[in-house]
Structure 1
Amino acid sequence: MSSLPVQRAVPRHRICVMPGDGIGIEVMEAALPVLDALGLPCELVFADIGWECWRREGNTVPQETWDRIASCDAALLGAITSKPPREAEAALPLSLRGTGHAFVSPVIQLRQRLGLYANIRPVTDVLGEGRYRFTVIRENTEGLYAGLDFARIPAEFEPVLSGREASGAPWRRAGPDDATMSVRLQTRHGLSRLFRFAFEYARSQGFDRVTLADKPNVLRHSGAFAREILESVAADYPDISHHIDNVDAVALWMVRRPERFGVIVAENMFGDILSDLGAGVMGGLGLAPSANIGDAGAYFEPVHGSAPAYAGLNKANPSAMFLTIAMLLEHLGYRREAAAIQSAVAETARSACRTYDLGGNASTREMAAAIIARSADKAAGRLVSGFALNEEK
């Protein structure tokens, strides 16, 4: 009797992997084997992005990369190198210099082109005993980073500013070239989708509190606008409390009593600052993962930089990349495997096998190998300590 042909599993998910620059490449190479160790049916599609693309062709995100991103379910991004305009221009081939090529951050391009309006930064007590667990959700497209940043006062704003000056405003200027101006733009559409995302995230992660970090006592009208929208959205989530706190007070209490928070949501600049503070609360950028989510796309990246001075030294902490992969896997539905990685990272970071930034002397590859081994053991034995295994989606 003839045997039946072996039926091989078709990959369920395609992940676009963009290693990036500097230590981004090293931690990516060290961490990716965890997917095979966990036996996950994922196909990896590699694509170029970042500084070397710029140096080669004057474009940080080539069209082929956009095509590969579009063919995948999600993207995993390594750290990216960015430099000021003069240095960026000098790095181009001679044939491209002075031809109008402008360096645009790949991160900004991805967020804008893919409509990724929510930046998610979990803050967990990786180095301690699980005392706190909260998440900062930052708006990605509006606020003070909306691009309304002017080197001189636009003519359209002159009547407003001149009227304020005439009524006794404390600033003084000689004319439109004697000042710069940045505008905080917030729209009902942008805030509504951000707040709804924050409440949905809180519910899915078991948080019972959403805090808007703003400055309504100073930014009175835009603060009142955000409050009205927050209260309207919150009415649909009676099981989750909502609060509005001054952003400076939130920063203080993140350091003093991080356990008081669940989801912190903020406009672009406030969220940018608070999310990096959250990394400091955790123990450093080497432990900080992130996700960028939209209605029809997502990419995931550790938030440390490319650190060119450390590239090739095999000493960068790979933990943030592992925790970023865990976020990606949870997004794709592999919640148990994600929790296994999270728990493995926490145990390894508290063990003797840890990198220099955590007080150890392990190399990138050594710490990564330890995390991978623990991840596989935990996933196989269904033994994950320190992180809840909520399999309900």
Structure 2
Amino acid sequence: MKRKNICVLPGDGVGIEVTEAVVPLFEALELPVTLNFGQIGWECWRAEGNTVPQATWRLIQESDATLLGAITSKPQREAQAELPNHLRHSEVPYVSPVIQLRQRLSLYANVRPVTDVIGDERFRFTVIRENTEGLYAGLDYASVPLEIEPLLLAKERQGASWQRIDRHDAAVSLRLQTRLGVTRLLRFACDHARAQGFDKVTLADKPNVLRNSSAFVRDILEEVAADYPDLQLNIENVDAVALWMVQRPERFGVIVAENMFGDILSDLGAGVMGGLGLAPSANIGEHGAYFEPVHGSAPAHAGLNKANPSAMFLSVALLLEYLDFTEAASRVRSAVRQVAQSDVRTYDLGGSHSTTEVAQRIIDTCLTLNQRGTVRPSQLTIPEYN
């Protein structure tokens, strides 16, 4: 197999720690990959007012996939306050590096597997969230735009409760969904269902309230369904989906949703699994893919060597699968499951072991599954990020 280039971006906080813990896995499994390290996140912002340096963009473009540890994001006011003095009054806008990656690379599908890691495999499903449109499309206004004011006046004439408001005394966010965006997402969800052996795809929306926009999406769903006769496609209210995810998660195969609904459901899925420390993610699109655990940078835990590395290992498994290292990906998942069900656990799962201890046990277990023994892999050197 041709050697693959992986861009590794440790990021901030515990992202650096879980990245350092997982990197030896690549050497241990003797995979034909080259790891190229770059910088991203809060410290880049504090140094130069740019969360994704140009050198990092070049590195991403030269790589087959990107592994991201975690990044810290703060509101605009706090972000401006931490800029270097010479940039503090330059009105440099803070844009989350995650949003930049998704939009610039057109990574429209956020993939969040939800598996029973710590139980007896009672459930296995995937939440797929649209990444570029929906309520997070950027059409968010602190006052009502003049172009929208006639729509409010029309509703006022129909007896709406916000009669005679001043446009500066209201805020508006618009949910944008395009035929292209919805169609490619639904097709991605169906292809994922087939690849993972699922027979059901559930679109989570709110058709009983958002009647027109949901009807638009439902029509596209029915068009796509015609090309997937082997799958059962249906639309359900997002609140009902949330309830059944908790009470009967085994009823789902693939759950697909627009950006905000998918954001909420995917974190609920992490809770169903047992916590963010177990939840991996993939962001896949037209111009590449990146993979990251969803627990964030957790600044309060940074430097304590206590973060659960399992989500990072499971994210690596998604990355390996994306690069066609399917056998290695399967072994990583099995190793994470075995260790999560052992007495070697981090604090979030009721244990007292460190990040590095749990990571080493997962790597050793991978080697055992590979019938290579349990010899500890040599440690790779990771550059420091100041």
Correspondence 1:126 to 2:111: no
Q: Give yes or no for contact 1:142–1:186 (8 Å, CA) kept in 2.
A: yes
Q: Which runs of 5+ in 1 are unaligned?
A: 1-9, 383-393
Distance 1:350 1:176, change over 3 A: same
2:362 equivalent in structure 1: 371
Instruction: Tell me, in whole angstroms, the C-alpha distance in 2 between the residues paired with 1:120 and 1:259.
Output: 18
Match of 2:256 among 261, 265, 273: 265
CA distance in 2, matches of 1:172, 1:355: 54
Q: Distance in 1 between matches of 2:370 and 2:103?
A: 36
Q: In structure 2, what is the Cα distance between the partners aligned to 1:369 and 1:237? A: 43
- Indicate the larger mover: 84-93 or 28-37: 84-93
- 1:30 aligns with one of 11, 17, 21: 21
Corresponding residue for 2:169? 178
Cα-to-partner distance string for 1:159-196 (whole Å, 9 max, x where unaligned): 11101102201223431101111111111000000000
CA separation in 2, counterparts of 1:139 and 1:84? Answer: 23
Q: Find the residue that maps to 1:306 and give its secondary structure.
A: coil
Q: Would the alpha carbon gap of residues 250 and 345 (structure 1) be closer, same or farther in structure 2, given more than 3 Å must change? A: same
Q: Please, which of 101, 104, 108 is the counterpart of residue 92 of structure 2? A: 101
Q: Distance in 1 between matches of 2:128 and 2:309?
A: 23
Which amino acid in 2 is paired with 1:55?
R
1:242 aligns with 2:233: yes
2:42 to 39, 45, 51: 51
**AA partner of residue 133 (structure 2):** E
Does the alignment pair 1:90 with 2:91?
no
The aligned residue for residue 4 of structure 1 is: none
In structure 2, give the amino acid aligned to 1:303: V
Go from structure 1 to structure 2 and tell me whether the alpha carbon gap of 1:11 and 1:48 turns closer, same or farther (over 3 Å shift).
farther
Q: Secondary structure at the match of 2:159?
A: coil
Q: Return the letter of the residue paired with 2:13.
A: G
Match of 2:143 in 1: 152
Partner of 1:71: 62
Alignment CA distance shift 1:34-1:194 (3 Å):
same
In structure 1, the residue matched to 2:11 is: 20
Aligned length: 373
Map of 1:385 onto structure 2: none
TM-score (norm: length of structure 2): 0.95
Counting only pairs closer than 5 Å after superposition, residues 1-393 of structure 1 correspond to structure 2 as 12-380=3-371
5+ residue gaps, structure 2, are 374-386
Instruction: Give the Cα separation in 2 of the matches to 1:95 and 1:264.
Output: 47
| Residues in 2 aligned to 1:312 and 1:201: alpha-carbon distance in whole angstroms | 37
TM-score, normalised to structure 1, is 0.93
Task: Compute the displacement of 1:42 (Å).
Answer: 0.4
SS in 2 for 1:230: helix
**C-alpha displacement of 1:55:** 0.6
CA shift, 1:87, in A, is 1.6
1:148, 1:85 → 2: CA distance? Answer: 17
What one-letter code is carried by the residue in structure 2 that aligns with 1:107? V
Deviation at 1:381, TM superposition (A): 7.0
Distance in 1 of aligned mates of 2:287 and 2:193: 20
| Superimposed CA distance per residue, residues 81-111 of structure 1 (whole angstroms, 9 cap, x where no aligned partner) | 1111222112111111111211110000000
User: Could you say what secondary structure the match of 1:69 adopts?
Assistant: helix
1:199 counterpart letter in structure 2? C
Contact 1:212–1:243 (CA under 8 A) maintained in structure 2: yes
Structure 1 residue 243: Cα displacement: 1.1
Q: Is the 8 A contact 2:130 2:262 kept in 1?
A: yes
Alpha carbon RMSD of aligned pairs, Å?
1.2
Secondary structure of the equivalent of 1:141? coil
Q: CA shift at 1:378, angstroms?
A: 1.1
3-state SS of the aligned residue for 1:374?
helix
The C-alpha deviation readout for 1:212-264, integer Å capped at 9, x for no partner, is: 00000100011111011011011111111111110000000000000000000
Alignment partners' CA distance in 2, 1:277 and 1:169: 34
Asked if the contact 2:156/2:164 (under 8 Å) is kept, the reply is no
The percent identity for this pair of structures is: 68
